[in-house]
């Protein structure tokens, strides 16, 4: 049960009034969690299946105590500790990475501290994009958008191999047709079958096939990004 609480008299984690007010999202727009609450400093998540009271969202937006509202089963992610945010554009998911434990200062500086991940799944792209944008705005200049890198070897391995195969097959077949033509009236059944082919037609079919495969390679190399990734400026690792 997501409880409600009376706002305390002291200021809570609300941020700058009018600029970074609390943002709340819930199911069915959020699939992986029952409720999300984003403040200036933290992201609170209620586990999927939690019973959200109708007045819980309004109470959160008006300043309820989030620790008491989400209870002991809620997950709290401090935005200042987030080292990476990955937005999967196809699956509509956000993956947040942050240190699992404090550890020693030397380990943290070397980037070897154990990492924890929170994956948030959304029902539609609009909600996922909104949450991603709000988190990015709150992280500010502490993170940067990583350039999208394609693995061209994986993208082009199959079509390029097919192009090479078609090219070799076309050259070999044309050479065999020429040999069969030079053999004249040979009774060899293979030569007799090859004399029925026109090398110009073979070259035409091979060229058309190569053109189709070339378009496939071009589309593979120019396809739009499948994900966006934010990383802390001191971090060089990728999720």
Radius of gyration of the chain (CA): 30
**What Å distances lie between residue 214 and 2, 200, 205, CA to CA?**
56, 21, 14
What is the model's pLDDT at position 78? Answer: 92
pLDDT tens string 83-99: 999 999 999 999 999 98
Q: Which residues pair with 228 in a beta bridge?
A: 87
CA gap 134, 126 in Å, rounded: 12
What is the model's pLDDT at position 49? Answer: 81
Task: Flag whether the pTM goes above 0.85.
Answer: no
Helix (H) or strand (E) holding 158: helix 152-182
Q: Which two tokens stand for residue 67?
A: 């620790």
Sheet holding 115-121, edge to edge: 115-121, 93-99, 84-88, 227-232, 143-145
CB 79 within 8 A of CB 43: yes
pLDDT tens string 158-208: 778 888 898 999 999 888 888 877 776 666 777 777 777 888 888 898 889
CA gap 48, 26 in Å, rounded: 10
pLDDT tens string 210-233: 888 888 777 777 777 788 899 987
Helix (H) or strand (E) holding 76: strand 75-78
Task: Provide the greatest CA pair distance for the chain.
Answer: 105
CA gap 128, 155 in Å, rounded: 27
- The residues, ordered by sequence, that sit 6+ positions from 215 with a Cβ below 8 Å of its Cβ are none
Nearest to 206 by CA among 159, 172, 158: 172
Q: Which residues pair with 95 in a beta bridge?
A: 86, 119
Angle of the 152-182 helix axis to the 199-221 helix axis, nearest 10: 180
What is the model's pLDDT at position 3? Answer: 54
SS3 37: strand
CA gap 86, 237 in Å, rounded: 12
CA gap 118, 129 in Å, rounded: 17
Q: Which two tokens stand for residue 29?
A: 């727009």
The structure tokens 């609390």 sit at 22
Stretch 102-126: mean pLDDT: 72
């Amino acid at each position: 049960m997501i409880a409600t609480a009376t706002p305390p008299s002291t200021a809570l984690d609300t941020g700058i009034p009018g600029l970074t007010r609390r943002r709340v999202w819930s199911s069915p727009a959020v699939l992986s969690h029952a409720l999300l609450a984003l403040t200036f400093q933290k992201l609170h998540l209620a586990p999927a299946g939690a019973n959200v009271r109708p007045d819980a969202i309004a109470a959160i937006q008006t300043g309820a105590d989030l620790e008491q509202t989400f209870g002991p089963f809620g997950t709290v992610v401090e935005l200042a500790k987030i080292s990476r945010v990955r937005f999967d554009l196809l699956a509509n998911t956000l993956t947040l990475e942050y240190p699992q434990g404090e550890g020693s200062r030397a380990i943290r500086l070397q980037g070897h501290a154990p990492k924890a991940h929170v994956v948030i799944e959304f029902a539609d792209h609009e909600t996922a994009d909104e949450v991603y944008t709000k988190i990015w705005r709150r992280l500010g200049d502490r993170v940067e958008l990583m350039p999208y890198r394609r693995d061209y070897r994986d993208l082009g391995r199959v079509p390029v191999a097919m192009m090479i195969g078609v090219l070799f097959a076309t050259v070999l077949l044309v050479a065999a047709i020429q040999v069969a033509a030079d053999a004249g009236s040979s009774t060899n059944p293979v030569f007799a079958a090859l004399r029925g082919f026109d090398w110009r037609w073979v070259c035409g079919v091979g060229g058309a096939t190569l053109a189709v495969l070339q378009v496939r390679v071009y589309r593979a190399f120019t396809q739009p990004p499948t994900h966006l990734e934010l990383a802390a400026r001191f971090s060089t690792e990728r999720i």
